[in-house]
A and B are shown apart, each in its own frame.
Chain A
Amino acid sequence: MNLPDDIILSLYEKMVATRLFDLKVKELVEKGHRILYHSGIGQEAIPTGVCAHLRREDYLIPYHRGWGYMIAKGMDMGRILAELMGRVNGYCRGKSGTHMACFELGVLGKTGIVGAGLPIAVGAALSAKMRESGQIVACFFGEGASNTGAFHEALNMAAVWRLPVVFVCENNLYDMYTPYLEVTSVANIADRASAYGMPGEVVDGQDVLAVYEAARRAVARARRGDGPSLLECKTYRWYGHFAGDEHHYGGYRSVEEVEAWRARCPIRGLREYAISKGIPAEELDLIEERVRAKVEEAERFALGSPEPGPRVALEDVYA
């Protein structure tokens, strides 16, 4: 594989933005801001590598971990942060928080129920197919979701109707505090695809180029009208399941295991690859500097945005 420099740089920028944004949220949570925080740090390669193949009008169903999908789809970090902080200039006027959507960019909203997003992705894909719009759907979820009924119902339905969906499983090896193999019958979630007659592929989720390549095939298949695929990206979250998880480092995960995965940082991996390809380190540093400034600007925007009045809580129940 020989990717043009501009794609490498774009992947790098998106991953760095995802990382720095996540760290900013972490910092704000630690300062006491009321934000529902499920860190995606360590898993940046997956949303970045997949969303690189999506068009503006394509649909995205994110899941609870991280904000890489939203950033990669083009959502503005200031408005994402404002929404997370319950401010009126957020994407949903501060009433939605982590569930936020951006229909202009095809981001359809994020359910808080594990697995529930998959059937909704199937419906969006059915709609795209019936309207012959050429749109596809990328649907993200964790390995835990693959044990819900909704996962199995959705994969069967998408396969039998040959719908344009790419199911992306981020397997970070833990269902909250439970090692996934303690509660899951197969080591590879991708194997479950064969039960539904669709291709399933295990991907190194720490290697953004591997994710990019696998997603390219799955997205092309969906666009051709050949139906859904299941990508399982093996990965690891550096921090806890949520802000209050005190057991992630030396508790249910050994310190050695966490450190071994942290050594496989997806951003450092791409940086080393870029330098080996002759991209100057200074150019990468410049990107980081620019992104850092954007994240600071996002924070200023969010903190400067007013809180919504109580009336907003009463709006939007019915059309």
Chain B
Amino acid sequence: MSSREITYAEAIREALREEMARDERVFLIGESINYGLFGVTAGLREEFGSERVRNAPISEAAIVGAALGAAITGMRPVAEIMFADFLFCAMDSIVNQVAKWRYMIAGQANVPLVIRAPQGSGFGMGCHHSQSPEWVFAHFPGLKVVAPSTPYDAKGLLKASIRDDNPVIFFEHKMLYRMRGPVPEGEYLIPLGRADVKREGSDATIVATSLMVHRALEAAAELAGEGISVEVIDPRTLSPLDRGAILGSVRKTGRLIIAEEACRTGGFGAEVAAIAAEEAIDALDAPIRRVAAFDVPIPSGGLEEAIIPKAEDIANAVRAAIEAKGRRGIGPAPDARSHPPSDYPWPT
């Protein structure tokens, strides 16, 4: 296998290029994708033409609605929504139409479409350009939701998403676009619904996706220095969710920490915690802990760091879980991240 390293953005572009070359039904539709705001689709128009790399008006509802109409009539569109925050402009198209169409027509046609959406904080762009709404979409039956954390995963998962006969929302993290990593030059696919163990360990399990995988790995490296062995599970797809991998790891380590970039209430962490509580509570040596953003909109500029989990927050949650050993059944330990703490320095 090649040891070639490319960026996450290049891996995504390569997946698009390979799938467009392989299947002429695949086409791209999105706003200013002739270059792409983050440059992901740059160069593809020169290669495949403006019909298949189609600049769309600023009409998110119609972009997704049109992708649906094309998908049920023989094409395999890959739509780009410039920021995941703008998915909400297309909420009816996605949730009421795309997710339900196959069910509504009793399987007379499939809905093979992908919606790519850059997510996440890190650029200080404020509350309309920084959200991580993956879990919102995982709630709805009919959709698949993917959120890769590495260049390798991004390429293999995007190719699999394009070949999937179901609608897939593919979340790309803006802060990861420039991250480099090994990506083989040959063809490979990563099946949706299969988690990856990003680091093996025995004392605690951290479940995280996308950018939070890297913060979890940072935390795990720090904790290793304290003699704490942490396993990091990256589900890679939020829907379908690899429950088996999560439960297997929890049964091995006895402690579960979920790190998520979105705010806490009703989110990914809540679902994973519920699964562990329903299926593996007998294996837990400590209360489950969620490390999530505060339940506030994302502020602009450097302030976003005040609300998004850092590696240190994750490490502290693991330390608390380790200290809680033997307290099974005594009740939840305090979690500083549940809400802004009382001494939080609110601006005056």
With A59-B73, A318-B166 as known contacts, state yes or no: A123 contacts B104, CB within 8 Å. Answer: no
B303 within 8 A of A: no
| Distance in angstroms between the alpha carbons of A121 and B61 in the assembled complex | 13
B1 within 8 A of A: no
A188 within 8 A of B: no
For B102, the closest partner residue in chain A by CB is A316
Among A103-143, those with CB < 8 Å from B are 103, 108-109, 111-113, 116, 118-128, 130-131
A92 within 8 A of B: yes
| Distance in angstroms between the alpha carbons of A150 and B93 in the assembled complex | 9
Among A60-118, those with CB < 8 Å from B are 91-93, 95-96, 99-103, 108-109, 111-113, 116, 118
Q: A17 to chain B: which residues have CB within 8 Å?
A: none
Q: B96 to chain A: which residues have CB within 8 Å?
A: 111-113, 116
B57 interface neighbour in A103, A150, A156, Cβ under 8 Å:
A156
For B90, the closest partner residue in chain A by CB is A119
Indicate if the CB atoms of A125 and B69 lie closer than 8 Å: yes
With A123-B65, A127-B69 as known contacts, state yes or no: A319 contacts B110, CB within 8 Å. Answer: yes
Q: B109 to chain A: which residues have CB within 8 Å?
A: 101, 103, 108
Indicate if the CB atoms of B69 and A116 lie closer than 8 Å: no
Q: Mark B93-132, 1 if CB is under 8 A from A, else 0.
A: 1001100011111111111100000000000000000000
Q: Mark A265-292, 1 if CB is under 8 A from B, else 0.
A: 0000000000000000000000000000
Q: A154 to chain B: which residues have CB within 8 Å?
A: 62, 65-66
Indicate if the CB atoms of B103 and A317 lie closer than 8 Å: yes
| Distance in angstroms between the alpha carbons of A130 and B71 in the assembled complex | 12
Indicate if the CB atoms of A122 and B69 lie closer than 8 Å: yes
B268 within 8 A of A: no
Indicate if the CB atoms of A108 and B73 lie closer than 8 Å: yes
**CB of B165, distance to nearest CB on chain A (Å):** 4
With A120-B68, A122-B69 as known contacts, state yes or no: A316 contacts B106, CB within 8 Å. Answer: yes
Q: B315 to chain A: which residues have CB within 8 Å?
A: none
Indicate if the CB atoms of B104 and A109 lie closer than 8 Å: yes
A160 within 8 A of B: yes
* CB within 8 Å: A-B pair count: 142
B59 within 8 A of A: yes
B67 within 8 A of A: yes
A256 within 8 A of B: no
**CB of A73, distance to nearest CB on chain B (Å):** 14
With A92-B104, A318-B166 as known contacts, state yes or no: A116 contacts B93, CB within 8 Å. Answer: yes
Indicate if the CB atoms of B65 and A120 lie closer than 8 Å: yes
For A94, the closest partner residue in chain B by CB is B106
* Residue with the greatest number of chain A CB neighbours at <10 A, chosen from B68, B111, B112, B164: B68
With A116-B92, A119-B62, A157-B59 as known contacts, state yes or no: A124 contacts B69, CB within 8 Å. Answer: yes
Q: A125 to chain B: which residues have CB within 8 Å?
A: 69
Among A152-192, those with CB < 8 Å from B are 153-154, 156-157, 160
Residues of A within 8 A of B (CB): 59, 91-93, 95-96, 99-103, 108-109, 111-113, 116, 118-128, 130-131, 149-150, 153-154, 156-157, 160, 315-319
**Would you list the 10 A-B pairs with minimal beta carbon distance, nearest first?**
A123-B69, A119-B65, A123-B66, A92-B106, A153-B62, A153-B59, A319-B165, A101-B105, A124-B69, A120-B69
What are 16 sample pairs from A and B whose C-beta atoms fall under 8 A apart? A91-B106, A99-B105, A100-B105, A109-B105, A119-B59, A120-B68, A123-B77, A126-B69, A130-B51, A130-B70, A131-B75, A153-B61, A160-B57, A318-B102, A319-B111, A319-B164
Residues of B within 8 A of A (CB): 27, 51-52, 56-57, 59, 61-62, 64-75, 77, 92-93, 96-97, 101-112, 141-142, 144, 164-166
List 8 additional contacts besides A153-B62, A319-B107; criterion CB under 8 Å.
A93-B106, A96-B106, A101-B106, A108-B73, A120-B65, A315-B106, A317-B142, A318-B166
